[in-house]
Amino acid sequence: MTGQNAATPLTDTPSVAAEEPTGPSRSAVDAALRAILRDVLALDEDQVAGFDGDTGLFGHLPELDSMAVAGVLTEMEDRLDIVIDDEDVDGEMLETYGGLLAFAEAKSVTS
Amino acid sequence: MLGFDQARELRLLVIAPLFDEANKFRRQTLEIMRRLDAEGIDSFLPDLPGCNESSTPLTEQSLATWRSAAMAAAKHIRATHCFAIRSGCWLAPPAVPGWLYAPAKPKQVLRGMVRARTLAAREAGREETAETLMAEARIAGIELSGWQLGHKLVRELEAGEFAPAETHILIEQAVISGAPLWLRAEPDEDAAQADALAGVVANGMLGA
């Protein structure tokens, strides 16, 4: 019975797809954001792959100084095709990987 | 002007990125030029007016003055081809065939520099906004990341949409693969990427 229930959502793809008609998928934004942090901060692949929602960024990663923040935000605009305004940038957005990802996803959907 | 000159037939004008990417990509630029030298290609890296050892002030420069300087350099070295990198692509002379490596967007380069300044100001406890800085910069110019930009250059960057000339071939970073070196805080080099880039240019020039 559990097997049957588990299989049901997988076959029900049309409604799942219809729930997220706009913006790139969560995993696409996630992958792009990890690549940006890897490229700008010169982190290795394994370290970036190990980031979770609670991983500390600004104030926790020594590589992420204010020049690097500017680089990360500019690359996010370029690769995610979004616009980031001055007032978007605050401590909460940059504090954790989860915070930055949530911000990137919200911007990707609205832009 | 830095160059590998043995009066060979194939002569390449190299146009470095502007501003801080010039420093970050300098080592890699030379790595590419050394490889081309080994392939029998002369290459030249000019200092643009207002940059490096140039005696003219940066504030007087604009994309227009840099474009004519790049054209003059091409004539001076009798360039058969050109290879431009990132923001250097904006200056590549359309009359000289060549390659554009990962062209930058003028507006984005300016936004990035303004953002670095507002973030640094915020860290120092001063409040500066991009909007007020830009309003001032359009009239009086502005200092961004240590670069003193004239108002004309600011306006050009702000309005600039870059469109490659038909004579130039794009090389995207995805083709070269690996992390873009111009994003790094410190200048670095990457042998595999230098091999790939020099390979594209050398094949194009030698095959022509």
Contact status of A74 with chain B (Cβ, < 8 Å): yes
pLDDT at site A96? 95
- Ranges of each domain in chain A: 24-110
Distance CA B130, CA A36 (A): 23
pLDDT at position A19 is 46
**Quick check: helix, strand or coil at residue B11?**
strand
Domains assigned to chain B: 2-104+163-207 (3.40.50.2300), 106-161 (no CATH)
* ipTM exceeding cut-off 0.85 for this assembly: no
The C-alpha atoms of residue B12 and residue B36 are separated, in whole angstroms, by 9
Residues in chain A within 8 Å Cβ distance of B180 = 39
**Residue of chain A whose alpha carbon sits nearest to that of B110:** A74
Q: What is the pLDDT of residues B22-50, one digit of tens each?
A: 999 999 999 999 999 999 999 999 999 99
Q: Is the dihedral of CA B124, B125, B126, B128 positive or negative?
A: positive
A77 → closest Cβ in B108, B113, B179: B108
The answer to whether B119 contacts A69, with C-beta atoms less than 8 Å apart, is yes
Q: What is the CATH number of domain A24-110?
A: 1.10.1200.10
pLDDT tens string A4-46: 444 444 444 444 444 445 667 778 999 999 999 999 998 989 9
pLDDT at A10: 45
